[in-house]
A and B are shown apart, each in its own frame.
Chain A
Amino acid sequence: AQSVTQLGSHVSVSEGALVLLRCNYSSSVPPYLFWYVQYPNQGLQLLLKYTSAATLVKGINGFEAEFKKSETSFHLTKPSAHMSDAAEYFCAVSETGGATNKLIFGTGTLLAVQP
């Protein structure tokens, strides 16, 4: 079975500082990985996805993630945090096989941005 682990349920950064949210995956097959963001009282919005085309994936709002097979990681980064980035971030893996591609989510990381 595939799974993802997000290290750090809460991360706090200052405005303008680097954002680093960690995600490690477990999969016996090449994984398809996703990062979603959830703003308060809203649904999940796709930030970016890894589909094996390129190891460095650029997403919306200045976020990017690098797939590292040797480290089984897919960490999310942004060079300079903005107040509007405060939200909860979820890493997910698509559990393929059979006729489904259901998402298996990590426990989420709540990002706080301090002025």
Chain B
Amino acid sequence: DSGVTQTPKHLITATGQRVTLRCSPRSGDLSVYWYQQSLDQGLQFLIQYYNGEERAKGNILERFSAQQFPDLHSELNLSSLELGDSALYFCASSVEGWAGTDTQYFGPGTRLTVL
């Protein structure tokens, strides 16, 4: 158990819908990252927050957005869903969020299926 929690574990929805994925980081970690894992794209970085502020953006679609709240939990919002958005979405957390030596601890993921 990494100490990172994600809810829900599974999500099945229809095209055009909007969903929210939730992540609680390990106690003491200030940085949260979101990654997407799909068969065709592999594991890709989406976005990072540090202590409530956006730190870095990767290959995140405009239909996707995220935020980190004062209690440090984070939410990833996916809207106007398409079939291709079906994937496993991971949240990770770390203490600092900038040092290369900083270890990222991953949650169990949310599996999103868009029908």
Contacts and interface: CB of A to CB of B under 8 A. Distances in A.
Interface string A80-115: 000000000010001010111111111110000000
A98 B100 contact: no
B98 A100 contact: yes
B55 interface: yes
A72 interface: no
Given A43-B90, A105-B43, A100 B48 contact: yes
A63 B98 CA distance: 27
- Interface band, chain B: 20 to 34
Given A101-B100, A107-B42, A43 B94 contact: no
Given A45-B2, A96-B99, A108 B42 contact: yes
Contacts of A36: 106
Given A44-B90, A100-B98, A104-B45, A49 B108 contact: no
Contact of A94 (B35, B50, B100): B100
Interface residues of A, number: 25
Interface in B20-46: 33, 35, 42-45
A90 B98 contact: no
20 contacts: A31-B100, A42-B109, A43-B107, A43-B108, A45-B106, A46-B105, A49-B103, A90-B43, A94-B100, A94-B102, A96-B100, A99-B97, A100-B48, A100-B97, A101-B99, A101-B100, A102-B33, A102-B56, A103-B35, A105-B43
